[in-house]
Structure 1
Amino acid sequence: MAERVKDIIQIIENLAPKSAAESWDKVGLQVGSPQDTIKKVLVCLDVTDDVMEEAIENEVNLIISHHPFLFKPLKHILKEDSKGKIVYQAIKNNIALYCCHTNIDVVMGGLNDQVAMKLGLSNIKILQVTGQQEYYKIVVFVPEGYEEKVATALAETGAGHIGNYSHCSFRSDGTGTFMPLEGTDPFIGNIGELEKVKEIRLETIIKKEDLSKSLKSMMEAHPYEEVAYDVYPLINAEANRGIGRVGVLDNPLQLSILIEDVKKILDIDKVKFCGDVNHQIEKVAVVNGSGADLIFDAIGAKCDCLITGDLKYHEAQIALENGLNVIDAGHFETEALFVDWMVAFLTEGCKEKGLDIDVIPSNRNINPFQYL
């Protein structure tokens, strides 16, 4: 069976669903069809003339970009127009275009986390929360001796995950009573007789979106004809997506040294910064791309430094007035690792699913800025 665009989309959206994107963003499949067959994928930051040329030369069937290619509606598609030319070439050469932008930025394990980890931060948390994970508690009563089978069935659907721990549950002993009536086929007991059974009260939690499949799996594993269970909504929601990350350096550094580390880690020659080069930096906020509008979030989180791109003059003044050091490493530079990371992520995802798809990085330099 031929591999299709939808197979790659599923790998990406299992991590970063389109619903996680900011409301103003334009993410997802922008040109092509989910049913298009693919053999080769090209990953880039932006779809430009050079990148499209590269895709055609490499016989690529799908381009995955970080920034949306189509952000504003097109009034026309002309070969002489910059956008229209690329759309025309994509259709002519059977190349689909897909974008994952703020959805891949904000999710746990997404681009924000990759940048933070590359910079050596630990104890990483969300800087500005934009979404929370809702949970339900499942309580089910199981005859003694069958609790492991039911607990395993629940765990295999994702139930019992708390932080970095899986198979979390609570169990207590008790006595269950029931009387099988006419027309039933009881696992234990006789029709018309009150039965008392040693049972285990098994409790665990599950994500809201996984509740239905978890209950189905539980029912299939449970020995009873009629399963006694309760489902409770929980109010202790967990932040699971947001803009930027906050972490700490294991060994505090002077700002001047941190700047040199940032340049080395991101493979850049120069950065713009504001602050005191002698300031000891321990707590750091990171926002890939354009993140200067989160200066007050970084201040509120008691960060010593914010690393981002696109810092403006008056924003730098605000940061200085509030004692926040800022390293502007550049919009392109703080997002460039998207390409290699996404290539590795998709390559592993294809391997796990047994998909014969070659994923390659774009080698075209599309940074609009040059430095002298």
Structure 2
Amino acid sequence: MNKTLTAQELVKMFEHWAPKSLAMEGDKIGLHVGTLNKKIRKVMVTLDVLENVVDEAIEKNVDFIFAHHPFIFKPLKKVTQDDEKGRILGKLMKHDITVYVAHTNLDIANGGMNDMLMDELGIKERDVLIEMGKEELYKFVVFVPESHQEEVREALGNSGAGHIGLYSHCTFQTQGQGTFKPLEGTNPYIGSQGELEKVDEVRMETIVPKHLLTQVLREAEEAHPYEEMAYDLYPLENEGSSFGLGRIGTLDEKMTLKEFAEHVKKSFDVPALRVVGDLNKSIRTVGIIGGDGNKFLTQVKRKGADVFITGDLYYHTAHDAMGIGLNVIDPGHHVEKVMKNGVKNYLEEQCQKDNKDVEIIASTANTEPFQFL
């Protein structure tokens, strides 16, 4: 039987993948309009929240909009029907449509925006382009009766604990004996009130990234049979995986800059793009930052990229790129539209896994502001 889904549950599903902690300082992410304290039936994923997008949501009976670009980025001084923002807000409130935004946290997340762009280009071998830090790690230790060790181990692995490199469900366990005396008011799974109980238990250890701690604890408690789960958490000095903005990767075969620009054009389905550099130059290593990556030229060059793909390239920044010998391809900002199907597919998979009764769609409204003649 399918279960109803709340907006809060949907957000938790998403933030398991792209937590708010990944967002760049000052980014306007999270809830923008409406409430998360409601049940939702239909979700629409969009790049931008423009009036045509909201009209589409109303027409399709959407009650939750998941957006990439912040709807409210600068403080609003007034809300009237005479400007687009005011009209949009009026429509959203009237039709009880919640707007939630995930911006740079989706850009930075593993498998997020920049990985989606690399997927479109067919570049499989890649790494973080602009490193911003390393994930904090914790050792999670839980004491489980032998009868339930497999259930708890599976719950830990499925919630993201115990991932080391390309391996999942990594744990270590030792056997021992636990003791406890249930006091008045308890409802023990094993034993009786007032009597000391001895149980054969397993001490199970695993590693957990900081942003998954809440999720892992919740899943472990659900799988654990005891009324009170005994566990320890230890911060580790081990460095977790790097996280950061953009990706850098290698083409299977070299191309000229002209050939690669045509490949970018076709992959991102854009009618035109801008190129800086010698079109006959050989290209192998590719760096990419979806959106505006103007300020990262030097770091991209230092990282060893032959070509840098980014949007909104400024005139003088293009001169700077020429000066340091960095080829640049600007296919526009709107290529970030790849997130619509990427997020849709992720949310659908999670909702199906949890048997949630919700429909996820990608917006078909066009939000590209430019026309090419």
Same fold (TM over 0.5): yes
Cα gap change, 1:324 to 1:35, in 2 (>3 Å): same
Aligned equivalent of 1:193:
none
Aligned equivalent of 2:86:
84
Which letter maps to 2:349? E
Cα gap change, 1:304 to 1:90, in 2 (>3 Å): same
Aligned equivalent of 1:166:
168
Mapped partners of 2:150, 2:39: distance in 1: 43
Cα gap change, 1:133 to 1:81, in 2 (>3 Å): same
Mapped partners of 2:177, 2:81: distance in 1: 76
Alignment of 1:136-155 (within 5 A): 136-137=138-139, 155=157
Task: Show CA shifts across 1:343-369 (max 9, x none).
Answer: 222222222222222222222222111
Cα gap change, 1:6 to 1:141, in 2 (>3 Å): closer
> CA offset at residue 30 of structure 1?
1.0
Name which of 91, 116, 119 aligns with 2:121.
119
> CA offset at residue 101 of structure 1?
1.0
Aligned equivalent of 2:244:
242
Aligned equivalent of 1:340:
341
> CA offset at residue 14 of structure 1?
1.7
Larger CA deviation: 134-143 vs 36-45: 134-143
Task: Show CA shifts across 1:170-205 (max 9, x none).
Answer: 6799xx99999xx854448xxxxxxxxxx9997642
Does 1:304 pair with 2:314?
Answer: no
Contact 1:285 1:298 in 2 (8 A): yes
Which letter maps to 1:13? E
Task: Show CA shifts across 1:282-321 (max 9, x none).
Answer: 1110101111211112111111110111111221122222
Mapped partners of 1:284, 1:236: distance in 2: 30
Mapped partners of 2:178, 2:31: distance in 1: 54
Which letter maps to 2:368? N
> CA offset at residue 168 of structure 1?
3.0
Which letter maps to 2:10? I
Cα gap change, 1:28 to 1:138, in 2 (>3 Å): closer
Contact 2:144 2:224 in 1 (8 A): no
Contact 2:139 2:208 in 1 (8 A): yes
TM-score by structure 2 length?
0.82
Which letter maps to 1:347? E
Aligned equivalent of 1:251:
253
> CA offset at residue 60 of structure 1?
1.6
The aligned length equals 357
Cα gap change, 1:234 to 1:259, in 2 (>3 Å): same
Aligned equivalent of 2:110:
108
Aligned equivalent of 2:184:
none
Counterpart of 1:295 in 2: which secondary structure? Answer: helix
Cα gap change, 1:27 to 1:125, in 2 (>3 Å): same
TM-score by structure 1 length?
0.82
Mapped partners of 1:336, 1:366: distance in 2: 9
Does 1:71 pair with 2:73?
Answer: yes
Mapped partners of 2:150, 2:51: distance in 1: 58
Mapped partners of 2:39, 2:19: distance in 1: 22
> CA offset at residue 164 of structure 1?
1.6
Aligned equivalent of 1:195:
none
Cα gap change, 1:187 to 1:118, in 2 (>3 Å): same
Alignment of 1:25-40 (within 5 A): 25-40=27-42
Mapped partners of 1:353, 1:179: distance in 2: 35
